[in-house]
Structure formats: C-alpha cells, structure tokens
Chain A
Amino acid sequence: MIGMEYPWFLLGLALLAIPVLAHLMHRHIPRRLIFPSTRFLRRAELPPEGRRRLRDLLLLLLRLAALAAAVLAFARPYLRPRDDATAGLATAGRTTVFLVDVSASMGAHGVMERAADLLRTELKALAAGEQAALVLSADRVVASVPPGAAPAALIGRLSATPPRPVAGNHAAGLREAGTLLAGEGPRRLVVISDLQLADWRDCQAALPAGTEIRLLNPSEPAPPNVALISATTTVAGGRCRVTVEVRSFADTVQERQLAVRVGQERQVLSVSLPPLQVRRLAFAVASGDAVHGVAELSPDDYTVDDSLHFWAAAPPAVEVLAVIPGGDEAEGRDVQAFFLARGLESSAGAASRFRVRTVAADAFPMADLGAVPLVFVLGAAEHFDQASLDQLKRFCAEGGTGVCTPGTLAGQMVHGLRASGLFDARLLEVAGQTREKGQACALGWINPEGILADGFVDAEATDLFLFPVRQYLRLEVSAQQTVHLKMADGAPALVEQPVGRGRLLVLAVGLDTSWSDLPLSASFLPLVQEIAQAAVPAGYGITHLDCGQPLPEFRDLLGRPIAATGVPPEATTEPGVFAVGDRPVEVNVSRRESSAERVNPFDLTRRLSAGGPGATVGMPPPASGPAKPLPRWPAVALTAALLFLVEMGWTLWTDHGEVRGRLPARS
C-alpha cells in the first residue's frame, strides 16, 4: 500500500502547469509572409518540422516527469508491504468494528443523530459475509457489541445510549476494539467521533497488522460554542459574590445571556464575547441558606457546558495547625497559640475562615497534614527531633506553608532548621532594646511586593511600626530568601524561604509579650491573617470534580476518613453539588469537552496504525509486528535528479544544434 508522509506536498503538482504554459507560450508559430520570390526557396532544405514538434513534446513530457518526481519526493512516499494475512484484502469475511464516541462533546445538537446516520450508512455498505461489531466509548467502554450481531441491534444499541457527560478518553475503547479485531481475516476499524483533540491526543493503539482505519466525523464543521469555565464565590453577610468566567470558542462575536441562580435569587446579564476571548462577570446575590448555585448561559448547539454548578455557601473553615512545645516546656508557651487562635479565628460579624488546632511538638510527627495548608510552629521548632523536622520539610515540599516563631532556645531552632535544609539564614544574635537611650526597637519596613502588602496598603496609618519590640532574632539571610518585614534598624523580621512547592516563614519575634507588644497591637490580627491568606489559595476547601471522576477519600486532621453519609455512589456521574461531611464537592461536565480543537485525522490514523513506544493502549501482541513503512522518497528523488540531468543535457544539445544551424553556410 502506497502512502505519503506529507500528502499536502502533492498540492505542488499544480506546478506542472508551469512547463505546460511555458511550452504553450513559447511555442514557435512561424510568421506568415506573403513573398514574391517564393519559387526560389528550396524545399529540399526545409527543417524536419514534424521531428521538431515530436522533440518538443518529448521535452515537455520529460520536464513534467521531472517536476512531478520532485514534488513526489517532497511528499515522502512510502510503501507499506502487506503480509500474507492481509494480502489480497477482500471484504468477504472481514470484521469491522465501529468505535463510536459517546463523550459529552457528542451531545451537541444533531451530532448523535448524524453519527447514527453514518453508522447506518456504513452498515448498509457492508459486504456479504462481513461481520460488524460496536464499541461505545466515552471515558471508558460504555457498551460493546461483539461481531456477528445484526445491524439493527447495533443501531438500536447506539440509539439507546445517550452521550455521557464525561470527558472522553478512548484508550479503553481502542483496547476493546483491538480485542474484537484480534481474529483471523481482514479487519477494519471505523471511528465515528468528533475527533476532539483532548480526547484523542494521547491515544495510540497497535492494532492488529493490516487493520484498515477509517475516521468519520459527524460534527463537521464544529458549531460555535461558548462555555462557562469556572465560578468562584465569596460569602459574607448573607450575600454571595459570584465571579463567573465565560470563554468563547467561536470564531465570531457571540451574544449571550448569563444567569446566576442561588436558591430563589436569580440575576441575568447580557454578555458579548469576542472570538476566542475570556470574560469574567461578577454577581452579588442573596444566598440565604442555599448552598447550591447554578450559572446558566443561553443555550447554543453544545448545551452541556452552558451550565455550571457551584457551592454558594461559605467554604468550610481552613484547618490551621499550631505546634507548641510539649511537656514542661509547654507551660506558659501556649500563650503564642492563644494569641494566634484569637488572631485567626476572629472575624467581623462572620464565621471565621480559619480554625486553629493545637498539637504538641512530640505528637507532630503523627499528625495527618493532608487536610492542613498551614502549620504554625510556635516556639516548638527548637524541640523538634529529626522526624519532626522531616515531617515539616515534607509538608512544605508538598505545597504547605510553615511559620516558625522563636521560643526560649532560638539558636537551636535556627540550627535545626539549617541542618535539615529548611532555612538558610544564620543567626547573628538575639538583639534587645537599646539600653543607651532606653528606647525599644520597632518594626520599620514592609515589603511592598510581599505577602503582607495587600493588608497594609497604608502601613503608616496603622500601629505596625509603633509597638515596642523587646528582643528579636538578628538574622543574616541568604540570596534566595525573601524579607517581608524589617526592623527599624534594617534587620529582617519576617523571612521566607521556598521549600519544594511550598515555603517556610520565620518570624524574628515570638507571638507573646515577652518578645514584643505585637499580639496586643491592632496590627496583629491583619498580620497573622495575611500570612494565613497567603498560604491558602482561593477556593480552598471546595473539591472540584469532573463528571465521571471518582469521589476522593476525605480525612480529618487525625487521618480518620470522613464518611460520605447520604452521598450516593453515582453522585459524580451527573453535574451537581453536595457535601461529604463538611467538605463541599462541585461536579460539572469537563470543560475539556468544550474545545473546538480537532485532532489531525491523518496523524490519528498513522498513530492508530503504527502505535509507538509510548502507546497507552495495551494490545495483545500480533503474530507478526505491524509492517514498517518502507521509504521510497530516495528513489523518487534520485529519479527526479536524473530526469533533470537528462533534460538539461537534451536542452544544451538542442540549443547547440540550433546555433550551429544558424551559422552562415560555407561557400
């Protein structure tokens, strides 16, 4: 079987018109001349016109052949030899598997009907003795009908299977199709799909050798589509602020109506979307006790992504773990935890976003930090053993944020952190208030680009720089560390060091009054809340799932699983909102299905035919491996070069002959 690696190069065959036109334009038409002395012209010396015409024609054919061979060489032809099993391929006895995509994107208006029509047409075209099988594929094999079933059964099976609201992944479907095609005789795979790029990008299948592949797209051209991408909420005072992100996949400007409904409250906005643009729209609705919100677009051909379910109530409180020294050292040291809990859990008239849990330093290695984004080590790091330091390092490396404050043995804290690779700064001294003038130290600078900048936009108007600092750690920071706060004398007061995907913050003062009056100042609450907010991303606490994804296992701080009471097992198969314990879960159709990007049919055919080292579809190994294509372009290129050489030689010889003929005859 002959194929081309770059078949679009064959468009270059249009260049064949150039020599044809050149020959037509330069064809020599003798000038007609009415001449009195014609009788003196000797007919015997006439040039052989017929031979000349034939020579010109042959030269034209030679040039056309040379040019065609050159174009063909660029198209990289190859020859795929047929093995004995597929030699003399005939439709009689052939097995044809129809792999029909039933992912969410096939739910666009009319697509499934066209897919059924295509299947019906293909079934009618089957030859006598040809067996047909059906595989319905979404994120998994939805249904499979083995070869031998009646065509009506296949049609009925497809008609009875609506598109599933899941993102497509046809690896399993291809695996099933390969199994059905594993028998003897000719075989064929017919794929009926909208060929969404994301659904087929990673699919590779080493189908049995000689499998003929045919792709049919019932969704061509792709309809203009607008999708709701995300909805984030902020709840305060019984009102819910919803920010909806809308994206257009269309090539033209789209006008839509966007409605947000929370409980009985509903608001509508008109939105105009430029081609391939994203817009964010904000709504403020009275949420009341409702937890379920829905954003809806006026429908287009693909309606599945025109609605988005979101959690409209306040997210659950963020668990913050405070580690305090254990044993005797804990006595009086939990003052820091006290101030921290007051600082984080207090909220103006609303439920606090943070909930502080306290654990002793010696129990820290046993804590389950999977549900905790932030750990405060309040004067306890100097008592950490290696396991605790490893636990802290692992927590930070996985994306968590750790905040360490000094205790009574600040030197050991810094040494331990340095030894475990968590903190690179060196401790110079524990500095105190200036004795000479009897003045206390104070904070003096805040990083305008740091994590505290948003909470202290006008720091001079607060008492951040006013409270006295009795003692603090004088640190020498490294280049990779970031200083967010400085003392009035320039010493760093809050230092951040990145650790893996997370970070470790070290505060130069403790959170009790022996270090400073910070916990008593008005700036304490925004300071600790800003640090906590920086550690907790927006939307934290709400689990977003695509339809079809399994429900994750939720655990509490002690590692105990949270029972999904009242949640049906199939809760994630359809869009909706529910809660597992106090953990809200949003389920929506994957927005990956909204994209209008299509996979290149030629690439997909080649991938499915040849497979590859990274094949994700497991196939029973064929008796003899898939036939490798034999490149034929070197021979074609050589032929083109030879033809060009012959043409050049011929042209030179012809020109030489014509010049010689024009020389004056010897007397």
Chain B
Amino acid sequence: MASPSVGDLLSPETLARVDSYSLLARVVVEGFLGGLHRSLYQGFGSEFFQYRNYVPGDDPKYVDWKVYGRLDRFFTKVFQEETNLNCTLVLDTSASMAYQGERSRCSKLRYAAMLAACLAYLARRQGDNIGFCAYSQTLSAWLPPGRQHDGAQRVFTALQRLAPGGVADHRAALHFVGENLRRRGLVVLISDFHGLDDDLEAIARRLRFAHHDCLAFQVLDRDELDLPFSRTVRFVDSEGGEELTTAPDLVRSGYERAMQAFLERVRSVCLGQQVDYLTVPTTESLGHLLAAYLHRREALAR
C-alpha cells in the first residue's frame, strides 16, 4: 500500500479530523517545509545593512576603519534594526463562516482557524510576536502581539474556543485592531468578506497608512462559487435571515456573474491598497495554499 503523500496529509479532509490546532499547525508547516527542502525565512534577523557617509555626531565606534585606511574617507556602518515582527491574525467568526457544503470536509470557520494556526506556527518558528483577534458583532477574542513565550499556544487555545454566529461588524473590529497595534507589523485578515466589500478599501487604507503589511485570505465554500444545487431551495441568509425560494438552475448564471464581480471587486481593492489577496476555497489543500502564498511573498520581496 502506497504511503500517503504530503499533499494527502495536508488536505482538509485529513486535517479536519485533527482536534488540536497545535498538532495540526505542526503537521502542516513541518510537512510543508520538509517538502520545500529549504526555509524561505532562513537568514532573517539583525545584520550589517549598508554604509553611509560619516556626519559629525556619529558614534566613532560605527566608523569602519579599514575602509578609512584604504580610501581615506570616513564611512559609518549602518545595521538593520534588531527587532521581531508583530504578526496579528484577524479572524472573522460571523455566522456566514459556519457554512459547510456537501463537497467540503469542514466549515469555513474551521478552515480559517486551521489557516490561522499554520500561520501562527510559522511565525513562532521564526521568533515573531503573535497577536490574535476574533470578531463577529463584537470582539470574541483579543490577544495583542507580545513577547510571551506561549504566544502561539494561547492562539491555539483561542482558536479552539471559536464558535460562529452573529453579523460581522468588520469596520469596528478592524478599527479596534488598527488602534491597538502600536508597532507596525503584519496583519493577516481571514474572512469571507461578506458585508465587507464596501468598507474594505477604507480599512485597508487605514492599515496601510499605519505601515502595516496586510494579507487578506478570502475563505469561501465551493458551493458559493458554483451554486451546485439542482432542486428548488429555500435559501436563508446566514446573517441577515432573509429567505428566498428559488430554483438554482434558473439563477445559477446570474449568481456566478454576481459572485465573480464580488471577488473581482475585493481583489482590485486589495491590489489598489497593496494588500496581498488570496481566494481560498475550503476544498483547497492547506499545504498548496501556504506554498503558493510564500512563493508569492518571496517574489514580492525581491
């Protein structure tokens, strides 16, 4: 019997059976890194950055005397600031995140939580500070990024306590996050962006102006993309509660057009505000997702 591949192990079907987010994140990340053979973040840290001309007042200890001996000019060595990254995971737990289609092995919230756990594990491996925020109508969890040793474990524990419900107040939650992040860092927003498309540009601009690096993962169920139902269905909006009885066969094309327009609008807003954006169907392998994302980060870093 052939042993399962890394891709099999990282599939949502497999990961959905793992209760512990800590174990889940380690399986994903270690499996993903092992398959990659090298760490993309290896070599990060404080080191010599560049030279600049000496100006009066500079500390003489930073003058490179060897260069002075060869060139007879004073150059001061400039080092990269010695600091850790603040990585804040912002997770939408509204009722719309509870949806699970027949083709998916887990709900959107569960998939988003697995994604957040993987990112937290990655950040902990490189010594970054981890923050976490979960919100719906109100904040349900808030862990500011800090230097605690058990920061990642606290995030895992908070992830396990998540429960979907309510109508998301994206503006208030992200306003709170922006106000409480003193240092610039990485803000990872994981949501389905339902109800956020009108406010997304303003929120992204606010975070961008605060010098935060933003990532946006739009988690969607496959049913939301292609509306696969055949018989007449009474649709009940998961957040608004409005009911709509219709034959999916008749409205599928219009629905798909509207959904594509929605995704395109979110993508264009994110591109305009220099926010890394990724559409994440819940049937997608977490390993492939992380690989695609990090390769993309690497390309952007060059």
A-side residues, CB < 8 A to B, are 28, 30-43, 45-47, 49, 661-662, 664-665, 667
Mind listing 18 A-B residue pairs with CB under 8 Å?
A30-B231, A30-B233, A31-B234, A32-B233, A33-B229, A34-B237, A35-B235, A36-B96, A36-B237, A36-B239, A40-B254, A40-B255, A41-B244, A41-B254, A46-B251, A49-B245, A661-B250, A662-B230
In the complex, what residue of chain B is closest to A39 when comparing beta carbons? B237
User: What residues on B are CB-neighbors of A31 within 8 Å?
Assistant: 229, 231-234
Q: B253 interface residue, CB < 8 Å from A?
A: yes
A46 and B235 form a contact (CB under 8 A): no
The interface on chain B, measured as residues whose beta carbon lies within 8 A of the other chain's beta carbons, has a size of: 37
Q: Which 7 A-B pairs have the closest CB atoms?
A: A36-B96, A40-B258, A38-B237, A30-B234, A665-B253, A30-B232, A42-B254
Distance between Cα atoms of A32 and B232 in the complex (Å) = 9
Q: Are A33 and B233 in contact (CB under 8 A)?
A: yes
A665 and chain B: residue at smallest CB distance:
B253
New contact pairs (5) apart from A34-B99, A35-B235, A42-B255, CB-CB < 8 Å: A33-B234, A35-B224, A36-B221, A42-B251, A42-B258
In whole Å, how far is A46's beta carbon from the nearest beta carbon of chain B?
5
Q: Convert B225-266 into 0s and 1s, putting 1 for each residue whose CB lies closer than 8 angstroms to a CB of A.
A: 000011111111111101011110111111100110010000
Q: Which residues of B contact A41 (CB under 8 A)?
A: 235, 244, 246, 251, 254-255
Given A41-B255, A42-B258, the answer on whether A35 and B99 have CB atoms closer than 8 Å is yes
How many angstroms between the C-alpha atoms of A40 and B192 in the bound complex?
14
B263 to chain A, nearest CB (A): 11
Contact B231 A28 (CB under 8 A): yes
Q: Are A40 and B259 in contact (CB under 8 A)?
A: yes
Secondary structure of the A contact surface, majority rule: mixed
- A33–B252 Cα gap in the complex (Å)? 16
B136 to chain A, nearest CB (A): 13
Contact residues, B92-107 vs A (CB, 8 A)? 96-99
The A-contacting residues of B in range 185-240, CB under 8 angstroms, are 192, 194, 221, 223-224, 229-240
A23→B49 CA distance, assembly (Å): 80
Instruction: Tell me the complex Cα distance, A498–B236, Å.
Output: 99
CA distance A40 to B248 in the complex (A): 12
Inter-chain CA distance A49–B221, complex, in Å, is: 29
B246/A46 in contact, CB under 8 A: yes
B258 touches A34 (CB 8 A): no
Cα separation A39 to B251 with both chains bound (whole Å):
12
Contact A32 B236 (CB under 8 A): yes
Chain B residues contacting A662 (CB-CB under 8 Å) are 230, 249
B252: chain A residues within 8 A (beta carbon): 665
A47→B246 contact, CB < 8 A: yes
1/0 per residue, CB under 8 A from A, across B173-193: the answer is 000000000000000000010
Contact B253 A37 (CB under 8 A): no
CB-nearest residue of chain A to B249? A662
CB-based contact B245/A46 at 8 Å = yes
Residues of chain A within 8 A (CB-CB) of B250 are 45-47, 661
Q: Report yes or no: A36 in contact with B255, Cβ–Cβ below 8 A.
A: no
In the complex, A74→B98 CA distance in Å?
60
Question: How far apart sit A37 and B98, CA to CA, in the bound complex (Å)?
Answer: 12
Complex-state Cα separation, A32 to B249, whole angstroms: 16
Bound complex: CA A28 to CA B237 (Å): 21
Contacts of A39 in B (CB 8 A): 194, 237, 240
- Shortest CB–CB separation between residue A130 and chain B, in angstroms? 65
Q: Which residue in B192, B230, B244 is a CB contact (below 8 Å) of A38?
A: B244
Contact of B249 among A33, A661, A667 (CB under 8 A): A661
Shortest beta-carbon distance, A541 to chain B, in Å? 92
Please measure, in the bound complex, the distance between the C-alpha atom of A38 and the C-alpha atom of B192, giving whole angstroms: 13
**How close is B229's CB to chain A, nearest CB, in angstroms?**
7
Contact of B233 with A667 in the complex, beta carbons under 8 Å: no
CB distance from B193 to the nearest CB of A (A): 10
With known contacts A46-B245, A49-B245, A661-B247, A37–B232 Cβ distance under 8 A: no
Closest to A43 in B: B244
Report whether B238 and A45 are in contact in the complex, using a CB–CB cutoff of 8 Å: no
Interface centre among A33, A36, A42, A664 (most CB of B within 10 A): A36
Considering the chains assembled together, what is the distance between the CA atoms of A664 and B255 in angstroms? 13
